[in-house]
Chain A
Amino acid sequence: MVIEAEKMSRKFRQRGTTVEAVRGIDLHVRKGEIFGFLGPNGAGKTTTVRMLATLLAPDSGQVSVAGCALPKETRRARHLIGYVGQAGGTDDGMPVLDNLVLQARLNGLGRTAAHEQSRRTLAALGLVDLADRLPRSLSGGQRRRVALALGLVHQPQVLFLDEPTLGLDPAARAVLWEQIRALREAGTTVFLTTHYLEEADALCDRVAIIHQGRIVASGGPAELKRGISGDAVTLSVGERDGERVMAALEHLPFVREVREAPAGVRVYVENGADAIPSLVRGLDELGVTVQSIGLESASLDDVFLKHTGSSLRMPGAAGAESGAETSSSYVA
């Protein structure tokens, strides 16, 4: 394992009260995989990645990164890891190439090697044309790729990315995903935090879902979704009828589970297409008008919902995302 954590915990004191940001989590990340750490804002993702990246010492637990026990072997670990924080870390006052060369030199490379490696990294990420530009003149996507280059310039064994695509448009996000996938091909282990469900689903070999400082589920995205199995049918019925509808649908023989959803309910069934007519008929008998129906395969959000009782997509939920839905919808 490249990253191993056993019962890793961290508390903070805030205005006289103690906040348990991370509560005894275990992590096992294999060499060369993309490992996603999924959860809403405030779940403990950043605290975890900062502990693994040597920025923060755990209060308790055993942590090993790239074969270095932390915090004892922090300095040795820093030679072997790269870190790209949420803010990116580009210095706006100096050209991109200068940013990279300094980072390479601080990681022990000589002058010539640092220049060569910086240019090679820029070429690998398609950033050669931006070498002499100031980061402040770049687009959000370009800045993120420069930030990635800063984390990679010394060819680390493990790269930590904290919300790497936060705030990017879908096109820029797709470009960054491709570059992160290329890292895996090159043998780099990537540990990334995200609250984008589709990012964890599309990019990661394995994910751990964190909620209130605890890991509630972990495994491959497909494996986790298999645990839910079947389809999810979302019925918009208005908030007034939600509870009545839940009570009625729970008793239908083909329904596995019913959960509250924004302005309606979410029904888990084996086969959504077959179930929809019966669901609509059932609601009709109750005198409830269905405003719209959505059908989708179980997603990581459903896994999150199952383990935490709340959705990452719920309005007001910490970290609710605005990403595109993958469901097909019907208006009743």
Chain B
Amino acid sequence: MLRDTGLVFAYQTRRLIRSPVVIAVGIMQPLLWLLLFGPLVDGLAAPGLGSAKAFDLFAPGLLVMLALYGSLYTGFELISELRAGVVERMVVSPMRPAALILGKALRDVLALGVQAVILMLIAVAMGLDADLGGLLIAFGLFAVVVVMTASFSYAVALMLRDENMMSQSMGFLSLPLLLLSGVVLPLSLAPGWLRGVARVNPFYHVVEASRSVMAGDFSDTSLWVALGFSLALTALMLRWAVGSLRRI
């Protein structure tokens, strides 16, 4: 299993390196948010924000935005591979089917991880005040969220097998997931009912946890809630995707 996952990961990474433009295009959206929206929130003061600098609250959320948008659409690749018979060919080999999903998801972690590092370096240059240990923990959480979201995207792709339906479905999901994650502004500013709805959104907990740890607050329970929530969902999504792969 480990060997097969490693083989798929190495192959997919070489494939990614052949198209570096994918990484450049992928980082554009969160980068534009950082460059064009970041200066707007810098220095913003509002009830609910506490003593924290608004920019320090905003920048960690961009990591989650990158994970969400970068992984949610990765299933498109699987649809074209299904159509070309690549998936079928690999499934007939003695490889464990889970290795295909995991290998691809880990490639997504690598591709998005590079983008995340670039993003945070620019954010630091723009004035982000982040705890280094907290930043590393946030990157770890980011990796889990990428595997979770990518596995979800692969599972949906295997179920729908149609680019148009995939595009509609992911478009429908991405906006509420983003708005209810508190990436743009903390949901502490939101009315009670909205905060209640947000609590079922795993990305909300990841944003909260990322903000806490990057601020150097490791005692906050949000980290454990986010980690538990994300790991449980990652296991479920992987299971779903691998189960779908067995039924192609």
| A contacts, CB < 8 Å to B | 53-55, 75, 78-79, 81-94, 98, 102-103, 105-108, 147, 150-151, 154
Contact = CB atoms under 8 A, between A and B. Distances in A.
Contacts of B14: 94, 98
Contact of A94 (B4, B11, B90): B11
Given A98-B11, A102-B11, A106-B4, A89 B19 contact: no
A22 B85 CA distance: 22
A154 B89 CA distance: 13
Contacts, number: 69
Contacts of A88: 84-85
A94 B81 CA distance: 12
A94 B15 contact: yes
A36 B39 CA distance: 69
A150 B93 CA distance: 11
Given A98-B14, A106-B93, A108-B94, A83 B7 contact: no
Given A55-B248, A94-B14, A94-B18, A85 B94 contact: no
A106 B84 contact: no
B85 A78 contact: no
A26 to B, nearest CB: 23
B92 interface: yes
Report, as a range, how many residues of chain B touch the other chain: 20 to 34
Interface string B154-176: 00000000000000000000000
A288 to B, nearest CB: 50
Given A87-B83, A102-B11, A105-B7, A150 B89 contact: yes
Most buried by A among B8, B89, B94: B89
B95 interface: yes
A92 B7 contact: no
Nearest to A147: B85
A105 B94 CA distance: 10
Contacts of A87: 83-85, 88
B13 to A, nearest CB: 11
B171 to A, nearest CB: 25
Contacts of A81: 92
A106 B86 contact: no
Contacts of B84: 87-92
B94 A91 contact: no
A78 B93 contact: yes
A102 B88 CA distance: 14
A316 B93 CA distance: 37
B18 A83 contact: no
Contacts of A90: 84-86
A83 B4 contact: no
Contacts of A154: 93
A83 B14 CA distance: 25
A106 B85 contact: no
